């Protein structure tokens, strides 16, 4: 009862702050933050609160400088010591200090025009499914980022796939060989078993496997030319419920390592690719901002303006029902 009443309080408080958004009220995090006008809206499906101790003000400024008009905040799960969290080492989404469900909820309520929120918890934690359900009931639009050390076809993972289908929200998964969501080669069985569930793939093992010749799964950031037809390529082509999150250094590397391949990849999967930044930078531009670099290379390599707009905005708008 205490936990639920606390969330009700957060929700009610967030509603009040939302009414004051146009003037920002007296929120310290809004001080000095200027909106960067953009002619073309961009949706970022992958951001985090408290990312490596980045402040709310810095996150808002970063997103606006990148030109992002709406972002989805992906929370961490509970901070616990168990094998699925590396006995606590991987808490906070791999040790980056990402904030939990309540931080994402509160920020999205404070700035509803610019932020939506997800729901998350440790995949095999008793009560984790109920925790996720509580925040889905409060309006979360995605489950994730699921970033825990379990097999991707474990019964606990399958329970969350069912939950995502029941609520009609996607589930975003971080695939990293030997560390998170193990058994990437068996993901196709899950895509087939749960056709009502929308899966979004992300991270090193997801992007390394665009290449048919990617044989050593321990190599997380492969370089050089890409041969089409890798597992990731096939999952996107063969399963209508599989989507791709373009975020992080792994997504950027997939675009940069073979630009000719990237053009074809963006073309054939133009309705399945979503822009995400997963960027912990404070500035929103320059060499330290992988998010702005990803936007720039997508604009460079997209085979047409129509495809560019799908990836940067339209696909996410349709999938999540949110605008910029």
Q: Quick: pLDDT tens for 197-241.
A: 999 999 999 999 999 999 999 999 999 999 999 999 999 999 999
14 alpha-carbon distance from chain centroid = 23
- Of the chain, the percentage scoring pLDDT greater than 70 comes to 88
Range 139-149 average pLDDT:
98
Question: Which pLDDT score, from 0 to 100, does residue 26 have?
Answer: 31
Burial of 89 (0-12, 13-18, 19+ CB in 10 A): exposed
How much is the mean pLDDT over the chain? 90
Give the C-alpha separation, 177 to 183, whole Å. 8
Q: What is the mean pLDDT of residues 28-56?
A: 74
Q: What is the pLDDT of residue 14?
A: 42
Q: Dump pLDDT digits (tens) for 289-323.
A: 999 999 999 999 999 999 999 999 999 999 999 87
**Which CATH code, of 1.10.287.70, 3.40.50.1220, 3.20.20.70, 3.20.20.140, is assigned to 2-18+41-320?**
3.20.20.140
**Sign (positive/negative) of CA torsion 270, 271, 272, 276?**
positive
Indicate the pLDDT class of residue 65, thresholds 50, 70 and 90.
very high
The string of DSSP letters for 282-314 reads SSSSSTT-HHHHHHHHHHHH-SSHHHHHIIIII
Q: What share of the chain is helix, strand, coil (3-state, %, to 5)?
A: 45, 10, 45
- Write the CB contacts of 93 (distance below 8 Å, at least 6 apart in sequence): 48, 74, 76, 145, 147
| Distance between CA atoms of residues 253 and 250, nearest Å | 5
pLDDT at residue 168 greater than cutoff 70: yes
């Amino acid at each position: 009862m205490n936990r639920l009443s606390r969330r009700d309080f957060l929700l009610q408080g967030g509603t009040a702050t939302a009414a004051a958004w146009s003037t920002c009220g007296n929120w310290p995090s809004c001080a000095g933050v200027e909106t960067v006008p953009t002619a073309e809206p961009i949706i970022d499906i992958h951001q985090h609160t408290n990312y490596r101790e980045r402040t709310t003000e810095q996150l808002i400024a970063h997103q606006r400088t990148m030109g992002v008009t709406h972002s989805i905040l992906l929370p961490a799960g509970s901070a616990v010591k168990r094998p699925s969290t590396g006995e606590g080492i991987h808490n906070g989404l791999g040790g980056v200090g990402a904030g939990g469900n309540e931080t994402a909820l509160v920020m999205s309520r404070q700035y509803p025009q610019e932020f939506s929120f997800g729901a998350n918890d440790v995949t095999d934690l008793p009560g984790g499914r109920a925790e996720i359900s509580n925040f889905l009931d409060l309006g979360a639009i995605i489950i994730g980022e699921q970033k825990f050390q379990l097999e991707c076809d474990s019964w606990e993972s399958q329970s969350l796939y069912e939950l995502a289908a029941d609520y009609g929200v996607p589930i975003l998964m971080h695939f990293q060989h030997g560390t998170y969501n193990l058994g990437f080669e068996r993901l196709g069985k899950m895509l087939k078993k749960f056709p009502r569930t929308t899966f979004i793939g992300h991270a090193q093992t997801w992007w390394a496997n665009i290449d048919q010749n990617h044989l050593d799964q321990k190599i997380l950031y492969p370089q050089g030319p890409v041969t089409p037809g890798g597992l990731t390529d096939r999952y996107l082509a063969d399963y209508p419920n599989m989507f791709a999150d373009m975020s992080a250094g792994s997504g950027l590397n997939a675009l940069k390592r073979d630009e000719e391949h990237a053009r074809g990849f963006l073309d054939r999967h133009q309705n399945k690719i979503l822009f995400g930044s997963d960027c912990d930078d404070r500035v929103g531009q320059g060499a330290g901002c992988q998010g702005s670099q990803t936007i720039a290379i997508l604009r460079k390599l997209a085979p047409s303006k129509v495809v560019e707009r799908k990836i940067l905005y339209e696909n996410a708008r349709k999938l999540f029902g949110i605008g910029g």
